[in-house]
Chains A and B, each alone.
Chain A
Amino acid sequence: NAGVTQTPKFRILKIGQSMTLQCTQDMNHNYMYWYRQDPGMGLKLIYYSVGAGITDKGEVPNGYNVSRSTTEDFPLRLELAAPSQTSVYFCASSYEGALSGGTFGSGTRLTVV
């Protein structure tokens, strides 16, 4: 099993550009999550989804959008990138929700200059 796959692994964006971070899981998990990890900080939840067609905001959703058209994919869209969005982004999935711990991808390191 590949688990949770994130692409790209690294990206540099200019201020004002847009991009989509891709996340795919092959475990048939209903729950999927996007977190960001700032240097020296813990992870903060951006958006999550409890199933295809259902998404909800987390703790820090501003500047981001998500969609969940299939069980497998949960892309994160950054519109009008800002330096404050420089971070490492993690996608995760779980079978029974946050209480089951989850399986994480290896992260996307994004720098906005």
Chain B
Amino acid sequence: AQKVTQAQTEISVVEKEDVTLDCVYETRDTTYYLFWYKQPPSGELVFLIRRNSFDEQNEISGRYSWNFQKSTSSFNFTITASQVVDSAVYFCALWGGSEKLVFGKGTKLTVNP
């Protein structure tokens, strides 16, 4: 069975701190995809990144970076120099085949000024 675990339910940081959101996944597939989404207070989910199982290169996009490690089945997300606008719930998800995405329970990040 496929599963995504986000062990951190809530994280609170002060602006400009770096913060890492953890994501651990389980799958028996050799080909799979991992995703991160942001859900700001307005409610809609915003797609951030997709990674496939054959590409373990780290990804950086501005203040965001992602570390994919197959050896530990993890796909962690780091925000550098956090800002108040980063406050949101962040979801990690695993492509479960066909049109199904398996979502973790989410991590609520609060960035305080």
Decide if A and B are genuine partners: yes
Chain A residues within 8 Å of B, Cβ to Cβ: 4, 31, 33, 40-45, 48, 50, 56, 58-59, 88, 90, 92, 97-107
Cβ of A106 and Cβ of B105 under 8 Å apart?
A: no
Inter-chain contact count A-B, CB under 8 Å? 61
B64 touches A (CB below 8 Å): no
C-alpha spacing A45/B43, complex, angstroms: 17
Cβ of B43 and Cβ of A107 under 8 Å apart?
A: yes
Cβ of B100 and Cβ of A98 under 8 Å apart?
A: yes
Q: Count of chain B residues with Cβ under 8 Å from any Cβ of A?
A: 24
Known A-B contacts A42-B91, A101-B35; A59 and B100 likewise in contact (beta carbons under 8 Å): yes
Known A-B contacts A104-B45, A105-B44, A107-B43; A98 and B99 likewise in contact (beta carbons under 8 Å): yes
C-alpha spacing A43/B90, complex, angstroms: 12
Known A-B contacts A40-B105, A58-B100; A99 and B95 likewise in contact (beta carbons under 8 Å): yes
Cβ of B101 and Cβ of A90 under 8 Å apart?
A: no
Cβ of B95 and Cβ of A98 under 8 Å apart?
A: yes
Chain B's closest residue to A44 (CB) is: B103
Known A-B contacts A42-B91, A99-B50; A90 and B105 likewise in contact (beta carbons under 8 Å): no
Q: Which residues does chain A contribute within 8 Å of B45, judged by CB atoms?
A: 43, 90, 92, 102, 104
Shortest Cβ-Cβ A-B pairs, 6 listed: A42-B103, A101-B47, A104-B45, A106-B44, A107-B43, A98-B99
C-alpha spacing A97/B96, complex, angstroms: 12
C-alpha spacing A61/B17, complex, angstroms: 42
- 9 A/B residue pairs, CB under 8 Å, sorted by A: A33-B99, A42-B91, A42-B106, A43-B93, A45-B100, A99-B95, A104-B44, A106-B43, A107-B43
Cβ of B105 and Cβ of A42 under 8 Å apart?
A: yes
7 further contact pairs, Cβ within 8 A, besides A43-B91, A43-B93? A42-B103, A90-B44, A98-B99, A99-B50, A100-B50, A101-B35, A104-B46
C-alpha spacing A107/B41, complex, angstroms: 12
Cβ of B99 and Cβ of A42 under 8 Å apart?
A: no
Interface residues of B in 34-90 (CB under 8 A from A): 35, 37, 42-47, 50
